[in-house]
Structure 1
Amino acid sequence: MGIATGSEGLITVLGYGSLLSQRSALETVPSLTGFRRVRLPGYRRIFNKVGVVFFSRHGADAASLEIASCSTQAMAGCEIICSAFEVPEADFSALYEREHRYRWVEVVALDEAGMPVQGRICTSSTDMDYRLNKCVTHAEYYRRVGQYYSGPLWRDDILPFPRYLAFCLEAAASQGQAVLDNFMDSSYLADGCTSIRQYLGSLEPPLQWQGSRGGYSYRAR
Structure 2
Amino acid sequence: MISVVGFGSLLSEESARETVPALDNYRLVRVPGYRRVFDKVGVVFISRHGESPDSLELASCSTEADPSCEIIAAQFECSEADFLQLYEREHRYRWVEVETWHCQTGETTLGRMCTGYSDLDYRLNKCVTEEEYHRRVGQYYQGVLWRQDILPNPRYLGFCLQAAASQGAAVLDNFLDSSFTADGRALRDYLRQRPELMPAAPVNYSYR
Normalising to structure 1: TM-score of the pair?
0.89
Which residue of structure 1 lines up, in the alignment, with residue 115 of structure 2?
A: 123
Contact 2:155 2:203 in 1 (8 A): no
User: Which of 125, 131, 135 is 2:127 aligned to?
Assistant: 135
Count residues in correspondence: 203
Cα deviation code 1:26-56 (max 9, x no counterpart): 1221110111100000000000000000000
- What is the SS of the residue equivalent to 1:82? strand
> Could you tell me how far apart the structure 2 residues matched to 1:184 and 1:24 are?
20
> Could you tell me how far apart the structure 2 residues matched to 1:50 and 1:215 are?
20
> Could you tell me how far apart the structure 2 residues matched to 1:70 and 1:167 are?
11
CA shift, 1:207, in A, is 2.0
Which residue of structure 1 lines up, in the alignment, with residue 34 of structure 2?
A: 43
Identity %: 63
Amino acid in the other structure paired with 2:198:
Q
Change in Cα spacing, 1:32 to 1:64, as seen in structure 2 (3 Å) is: same
> Could you tell me how far apart the structure 2 residues matched to 1:194 and 1:200 are?
10
Structure 1 spans left out of the alignment, 5+ residues: 1-9, 217-221
Does residue 206 in structure 1 map to residue 196 in structure 2? Answer: yes
> Could you tell me how far apart the structure 1 residues matched to 2:162 and 2:119 are?
30
Cα deviation code 1:134-172 (max 9, x no counterpart): 111000000000000000100011000000000000000
Which residue of structure 1 lines up, in the alignment, with residue 161 of structure 2?
A: 169
CA shift, 1:215, in A, is 5.7
- What is the SS of the residue equivalent to 1:66? coil
User: Which of 31, 43, 50 is 1:52 aligned to?
Assistant: 43
- Runs (4 or more) in structure 1 with deviation over 3 Å come to 213-216
User: Which of 5, 8, 11 is 1:17 aligned to?
Assistant: 8
Structure 2 spans left out of the alignment, 5+ residues: none
- What is the SS of the residue equivalent to 1:23? helix
Which residue of structure 1 lines up, in the alignment, with residue 138 of structure 2?
A: 146
> Could you tell me how far apart the structure 2 residues matched to 1:15 and 1:106 are?
12
RMSD: 1.3
